[in-house]
């Protein structure tokens, strides 16, 4: 019987002293409080989001809907933060342990705040994207990506500072290391700066058709930190270092308002003056009355006898199409070519082709050679 009483006494002593001097009952209650908040986190998040959804139902703004979607994760994490704080407040810790628990509480709150800020960058992007017309979409994407990285770094630094880890000396050491790396990565920084200049100056954007002198011609698919992806018209992808765009001439075909048609129509030298004038006037009327061709201050169209070449009288035809689309441009160009052929044939004229005349002073004799066997003896 005495042994049983001794066991009861030891059990009560262990129960009171518990772990690290903490009463086991307090630990159990604290765990139950934490588990309660942990289990109800989804219900808590659902109630909060439903309340916010009611407030934004009256608004047609897409930002409000996005906010509801992105804050679900941090809202589910908030009951865990609250549950741990209440549970740790209920338990009586020693001074050293209490300081450690306080650091955990501060860290959890810091994680919640920066996680929420990180997620809010997504709806914030809708506000920034309103400036895409003034800057460029890739620059907006870079800004949002950089903002996310900045929030993440600040969150990590804040937590490290809470735990007494001084970030300043670490940054200073990394600074010296960064100088050494920068000396060996000059091309990387040159490409990065050039990429930023491309986006700020809006030399071209994704989807533009460009020609980089001596490098590549094609469609811009992606503008990166180091290089730009240009897909050639044969579907071959080409990665062009960004500094190339600063050193070489870049022609942006997508920025032109119209596409030009410029032909030299070679007519035969036997074409009379009246035929030339009639052909010129009919082609001019065709360009004036056809809505496929542009007529404004930025364009000029004319049909004029331009030069006399070796085998033809050259008539210069120049005009600009209204469309800038490549496929539509080819159709308009084809229709114009057919119309010009019809006009030339209608005026009983013909197109010249390269020819060469040979003048001989004498022709070889057609008389047969007289066979005389005696001459060969």
- Domain match, 216 and 110 both: no
In whole angstroms, give the CA distance from residue 138 to residue 220: 12
pLDDT band per the 50, 70, 90 thresholds, residue 372:
very low
Domain identity same for 218 and 341: no
Question: What's the confidence (pLDDT) of residue 272?
Answer: 93
Selected residue with higher pLDDT from 37 and 179? 37
Identify the pLDDT of residue 361.
Answer: 63
What is d(CA 315, CA 278) in angstroms, rounded to the nearest whole number? Answer: 12
Q: Tell me the pLDDT tens digit for each residue of 261-278.
A: 999 999 999 999 999 999
Among 136-140, 158-162, 335-339, 359-363, the range scoring the smallest mean pLDDT is 359-363
Q: What is the mean pLDDT of residues 183-210?
A: 70
Per-residue DSSP letters for 203-256? S--TT-EEEETTTEEEEEEEE-SSEEEEEETTS-EEEEETHHHHHS-EEEGGG-
Q: Show the tokens assigned to 169.
A: 């000396």
Last residue in a domain, options 255, 277, 298:
255
Residues 215 and 337 in one domain: no
In a domain, 143, yes or no: yes
CA distances to 15, 32, 328 from 25, in Å = 7, 10, 82
Structure confidence at residue 333 as a pLDDT band (50, 70, 90): very high
Half-sphere exposure of 215 (CA within 13 A, CB side): 24
Q: Give the pLDDT band of residue 70 (cuts 50, 70, 90).
A: confident
| Alpha-carbon gap, residue 118 to 144, rounded angstroms | 10
Q: Give pLDDT, residue 86.
A: 87
Q: Is residue 173 part of a domain?
A: no
Mean pLDDT across the chain, nearest whole number?
78
| Same-domain pairing of 291 and 246 | no
State whether the Cα torsion 140-145-148-150 is positive or negative: negative
Query: DSSP labels for 160-202?
Result: HHHTT--HHHHHHHHHHHHHHHHHH-HHHHHHHHHHHHHHHHT
Q: Is 340 exposed, middle or buried (0-12, 13-18, 19+ CB in 10 A)?
A: buried
What is the per-residue pLDDT for 175? 55
Q: Are residues 303 and 215 in the same domain?
A: no
Q: How confident is the model at residue 165 (pLDDT cuts 50, 70, 90)?
A: confident
Half-sphere exposure of 181 (CA within 13 A, CB side): 8
From 240, 241, 251, select the one nearest 213 (Cα to Cα): 251
Lowest mean pLDDT among 26-35, 73-82, 185-194: 185-194
- Percentage, residues of the chain above pLDDT 70: 71
Is 180 inside any structural domain? no
Q: Determine contact, residues 315/305, Cβ cutoff 8 Å.
A: yes
Total number of domains constituting the chain: 3
Task: Assess whether 240 and 286 both reside in one domain.
Answer: no
Residues 21 and 157 in one domain: yes
Distance in angstroms (rounded) separating the CA atoms of residues 39 and 41? 6
Query: CA of 77: how far to CAs of 25, 43, 69, 198, in Å?
Result: 26, 12, 14, 41
- What six digits make up the tokens of 68? 């509801």
Query: Is 355 a domain residue?
Result: no
**Same-domain pairing of 59 and 160:** yes
Weakest-pLDDT range from 51-55, 171-175, 247-251: 171-175
Cβ atoms of residues 238 and 230 within 8 Å: yes
Residue pointed to by tokens 């549950």: 83
Contact (Cβ atoms closer than 8 angstroms) between residue 250 and residue 236: no
Tell whether 153 and 193 lie within a shared domain.
no
Burial string for 95-111 (b: 16+ CB within 10 Å, else e) reads eebeeebeeeeebbbbb
Q: What is the mean pLDDT of residues 126-155?
A: 73
pLDDT at 83 over 90: no
Q: What confidence tier does 315 reach under pLDDT thresholds 50, 70, 90? A: very high
Is residue 369 scored above 80 in pLDDT? no
Task: Assess whether pLDDT exceeds 90 at residue 314.
Answer: yes
Tens of pLDDT, residue by residue over 36-57, are 888 888 888 788 777 777 766 6
Domain boundary among 255, 286, 310: 255
324 assigned to some structural domain: yes
- Same domain (yes/no): 103, 220: no
Identify whether residues 249 and 270 lie together within a single domain: no
226 in a structural domain: yes
Residue 206, domain member (yes or no): yes
Check whether 62 has a pLDDT greater than 90.
no
Is residue 140 in a domain?
Answer: yes
Is 20:97 a contact under the CB 8 Å cutoff? yes
- Provide the CATH number for the domain around residue 243: 2.30.30.60
Assess whether pLDDT exceeds 70 at residue 169: no
Of 95, 130, 165, which closes a domain? Answer: 165
Q: What is the extent of the structural domain holding 41?
A: 12-165
Tell me how long the chain is.
377
Query: For residue 338, is pLDDT > 90?
Result: yes
* Helix runs in the chain, H state only: 2-17, 24-39, 41-56, 62-70, 72-90, 95-128, 137-162, 167-184, 186-201, 243-247, 273-289, 326-346
Whether residues 103 and 211 share a domain: the answer is: no
Query: Average pLDDT, stretch 80-95?
Result: 83
């Amino acid at each position: 019987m005495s042994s049983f009483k001794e066991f009861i006494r030891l059990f009560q002593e262990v129960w009171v002293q518990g772990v690290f001097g903490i009463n086991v009952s307090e630990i159990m209650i604290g765990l139950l409080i934490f588990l309660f908040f942990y289990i109800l986190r989804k219900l808590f998040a659902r109630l909060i989001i439903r309340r916010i959804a009611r407030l934004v139902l009256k608004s047609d703004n897409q930002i409000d809907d996005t906010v509801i979607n992105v804050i679900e994760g941090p809202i589910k994490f908030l009951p865990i933060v609250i549950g741990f704080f209440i549970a740790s407040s209920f338990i009586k810790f020693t001074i050293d342990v209490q300081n450690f628990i306080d650091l955990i509480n501060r860290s959890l709150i810091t994680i919640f705040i920066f996680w929420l800020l990180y997620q809010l960058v997504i709806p914030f992007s809708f506000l920034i994207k309103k400036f895409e017309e003034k800057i460029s979409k890739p620059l907006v994407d870079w800004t949002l990506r950089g903002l996310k990285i900045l929030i993440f770094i600040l969150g990590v630094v804040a937590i490290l500072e809470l735990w007494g880890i001084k970030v300043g000396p670490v940054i200073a050491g990394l600074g010296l290391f960064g100088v050494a790396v920068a000396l060996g990565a000059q091309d990387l920084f040159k490409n990065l700066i050039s990429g930023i200049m491309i986006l700020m100056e809006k030399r071209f954007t994704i989807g533009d058709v460009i020609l980089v002198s001596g490098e590549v011609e094609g469609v811009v698919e992606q503008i990166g930190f180091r290089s730009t992806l240009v897909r050639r018209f044969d579907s071959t992808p080409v990665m062009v270092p960004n500094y190339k765009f600063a050193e070489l001439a870049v022609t942006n075909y997508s920025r032109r308002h119209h596409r030009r048609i410029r032909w030299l129509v070679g007519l035969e030298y036997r074409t009379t003056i009246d035929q030339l004038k009639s052909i010129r006037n009919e082609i001019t009327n065709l360009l004036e009355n056809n809505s496929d061709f542009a007529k404004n201050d930025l364009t000029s169209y004319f049909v004029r006898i331009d030069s006399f070449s070796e085998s033809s009288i050259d008539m210069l035809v120049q005009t600009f199409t209204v469309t800038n689309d490549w496929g539509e441009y080819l159709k308009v160009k084809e229709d114009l070519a057919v119309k010009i052929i019809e006009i030339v044939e209608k005026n009983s004229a013909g197109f010249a082709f390269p020819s060469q005349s040979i003048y001989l002073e004498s022709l070889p004799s057609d008389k047969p050679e007289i066979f005389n066997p005696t001459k060969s003896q």
